[in-house]
Amino acid sequence: MKRIITTFLLVASIFTLADTASAQGISISSKGLFYNQGRTEPITVRTLVHRDKQKGAWILGSASMIPFFELGWNVMSTPDYSIYNGTDGDFFDLNNWKSTQVTINLLNASIRSRSNKVGLDMALGIRANNYRLSSDISMTRVDGIVTPYEIEGNPKKSKFNVASLHIPIEFWVGKPSKVAFGVGGYVDMVMNSHTKIKFNGGNKHKEHNFPVNFIQAGVTARIKVKGISIYGSYNPTSLFKTGRGPEMQQWSFGIGIW
């Protein structure tokens, strides 16, 4: 319930800002948002989806540094299992090539210089982090603590998933339509976490609501060449709450497509 209220307040604040926009000299058109108070040339805030009057259709803009779709791979730092007193072993040992990060940025805005060579991009999207565990190991909660157990039966694969509301912001230099470099940060607000076990034969088992940190924040560096970017990010926030699971940080590497 607390997470739902937080998300509601975030959305409400966006609408509140929109209400006061006209008083600050901000106007809205089919091409995006414009700030034009006492200036001969407006500062443009372009949205990712904009109206092309000639084609008469909604198209995706390609100038933003933050892509519409990202696919990455997760690598965790060496987990600290000290709260288990050495009794539970290295249960969060991932298959890195199958531990993926998928991001879809649904809303995107960009503030840029007149020369279009320096800018600040922001977005709002959804992100899913998938952590592939050993096929015979999963996790549950015992007295609020993440506890591993050996899966009975005939498991095919086991994984842990975290879904979040993703809010990135990146500063960039260059020419986004050609080559540009960007650095910035992000905040992910966790909406759901669950384990998933798939058995040979098709049966599945899930367990929800693990004690992960609600706020996952990190930094990102990116290089974009035309319609493709390569990014790397580091999340210093531990995946699980202190004292509720192994302490570890996350590195992610991947590509972005517009």
Confidence of residue 175 (pLDDT cuts 50, 70, 90): confident
CA distances from 109 to 49, 125, 223 (A): 9, 12, 18
Confidence of residue 164 (pLDDT cuts 50, 70, 90): very high
Mean pLDDT estimate for the chain: 81
Tokens of 175: 């020419």
Tokens of 256: 């972005």
Q: Would you say residue 3 has pLDDT above 60?
A: no
* Positions of CATH 2.40.160 in the chain: 62-257
Q: What is the pTM of this model?
A: 0.74
Closest C-alpha to 4, from 219, 191, 133, 196: 191
pLDDT of residue 52: 43
CATH number for the segment(s) 62-257? 2.40.160
Using CB atoms within 10 Å of the CB of residue 55, give its burial: 0 to 12 exposed, 13 to 18 middle, 19+ buried.
exposed
